[in-house]
Amino acid sequence: MKKVLITGGAGFIGSNLALKLIAKGYEITVLDNLSKQIHGDEPEISSPLYLSIKDKVNFIHGTVESKEDLKQAIAGQDIIVHYAAETGTGQSMYQIEQYTNVNIGGTAAMLDILANAEHNVKKIIIASSRSIYGEGKYLSENLGYVYPSHRSDEIMKTGDFEVKYPNSTGTLTLVATDEESKIHPSSVYGITKQNQEQMIMTVCPTIGIAPVAFRYQNVYGPGQSLSNPYTGILSIFSTLIRNNKEINVFEDGKETRDFVYIDDVVEATILGIEKDEANGQVFNVGTGVATTVLTVVEELLKNYNKQVPVKISGNYRLGDIRHNFADLKKISALLGFKPSVTFQEGIKNFADWVNTQEIKGDKYDQSIQEMKQKGLFK
């Protein structure tokens, strides 16, 4: 039996991974601070994610910012899956110190312990993110492959949202982002994920630990937080639809994301835990399919069998990317991973689950107000 510590293991991906690993015979410890933004004010009542694992794992209520909590959690573990993080991209642009303290500081504290004290850890999985790439990869007719930087306020203000590249002529074609693509995050969250990944990939080999980084695309599925207004349009739109409120689609609705179903993410991560071929590698995890925001809205309305007004508002958030979808050649070749759930299947499962949940008031307006005040929402 192998012992695995999952930091942030009460969260969406961590709790699903924990349950799957337990079913496979692993012994799981979770270190999680039960952040109110994710788990509500009273996790014992308000967090189905926490409740799903609480009696099945060795649960430590603590923070990755505390070396004492980390030491207690790391003792006796064979493998660490490091998920604990602040996870809101927009929010990271005005809670900069908090995001760097938890995400970068927490990873640094963990590595300090592993580099300087006795332990049994042989492998670390770090949750990196597609956000480290920033905008996607494009093929320019005259320049070859290019990596456009984030779009400017001046151009988006005119309602022109498609990506441009200086001196590129003819069409600029979106292509899949592979692991060798330029890393240029457009948010503080992305910067912290890049930093976490680089620290783990750089330090671990020098201290005899095999590192594996997974750059997850947009993960979704039953159990994801419906109350956190800072992440995930599937949750935000679902809550609006169920509350019969208008959906404000930003830009022109043609922006795309690669939505990957939770079971596929868990599957990929377990391959990384179990296969030596993963050691020392970074992998994209996604579906390889770019889905527009308007398709998301249509699929949700269809699955809830409801109609609410949909306003394609031309609003935009500074720092948002236009497109990015994963190239899966590497993870397919080295780990044999192939996503098995289509967006249409996954969103049906998600909507069926949402329908079993209590309808809550949404805090979305408040999050938009916050971004407006900071000049990040236009």
Applying CB under 6 A, the residues found at the interface with ligand NAD are 7-8, 10-14, 31-35, 38-39, 63-65, 83-87, 102, 106, 127, 129, 216, 218-219, 225
CB nearer to ligand NAD: give 34 or 240: 34
CB nearer to ligand NAD: give 217 or 303: 217
What are the structure tokens assigned to 377, written together? 């929402």
The residue at minimum Cβ distance from ligand NAD is: 11
Min dist CB 354 to ligand NAD, Å, is 16
Min dist CB 333 to ligand NAD, Å, is 22
Please spell the DSSP secondary structure of 174-188, one letter per residue. EEPBPTTS----SSH
Min dist CB 101 to ligand NAD, Å, is 8
CB nearer to ligand NAD: give 39 or 242: 39
What are the structure tokens assigned to 144, written together? 């070859």
Q: Which of 50, 133, 189, 364 is catalytic?
A: 189
Distances in whole angstroms, Cα of residue 124 to Cα of each of 110, 127, 342 = 11, 10, 29
Contact 139, 173 (CB under 8 A): yes
CB nearer to ligand NAD: give 199 or 312: 199
CB nearer to ligand NAD: give 168 or 224: 224
Min dist CB 286 to ligand NAD, Å, is 10
What's the sign of the alpha-carbon dihedral 345, 349, 352, 358? negative
Min dist CB 57 to ligand NAD, Å, is 12
Cβ-Cβ contacts under 8 Å for 3 (sequence gap 6 or more): 26, 27, 28, 29, 76, 77, 78, 79, 120
Alpha carbons 144 and 99: distance in angstroms, whole number: 36
What stretches of 3-125 show up as alpha helix (H) in DSSP? 12-23, 36-39, 43-46, 48-53, 67-74, 96-99, 106-116
Q: Return the DSSP state at 141.
A: T
User: What residues pair up with 60 in beta bridges, in sequence order?
Assistant: 31
Query: Is 230 one of the annotated active-site residues of the chain?
Result: no
Which residues are annotated as catalytic?
189
